[in-house]
Amino acid sequence: MLQTVVLGGMEFSPLVIYIPIAFILSALTRFALHRLDWHDRIWKVAWFEVSLFVCYFALTVYLLSGR
């Protein structure tokens, strides 16, 4: 699957793709929570969002790197 990212002959770690994907997913979740007004159902919103970013990041690595 995605092992390396090649841009103009330069090889980059696929993290340059994984991290933005995880960030976008986190932002979408935050937007959805805001629209649904579910923020008050979460105890510590900052902890939750950081944790969710880590989970999304791990999921992206697992799915896209062909483990």
Partner 1 sequence: MTKYLRILFTVVVVIMAVVAGRWVWTDYMHTPWTRDGRVRADIVTVAADVSGWVTTLNVKDGQLVKKGQLLFSVDNKRYQAALDKSKANTEGALLAWELAKHKYNRREALNNQKAISEEGLELTRINRNIAKANYDLAKTEQALAQLNLDRTEVVAPVSGQIINLNLRQGNYIGQGVSVFAIVKSDSFYVTGYFEETKVPLIYENQAAKIALLSGGEQLTGHVVSVGKAIANTNTQSNNQLLPQVQQTFNWVRLSQRIPVDIQLDTLPKGIQLSAGMTVSIHLATD
CB 5 within 8 A of CB 11: yes
Which residues of the shown chain bind partner 1 in the complex (CB under 8 A)? 3-4, 6, 11, 13, 41-44, 47-48, 50-55, 57-59, 61-62, 66-67
Could you tell me which residues come within 8 angstroms of residue 29 by beta carbon, excluding any fewer than 6 positions away?
Answer: 49, 52, 56
* Closer residue to partner 1 (CB): 7 or 35: 7
Amino acid occupying residue 63: L
* Closer residue to partner 1 (CB): 28 or 55: 55
* Closer residue to partner 1 (CB): 35 or 46: 46
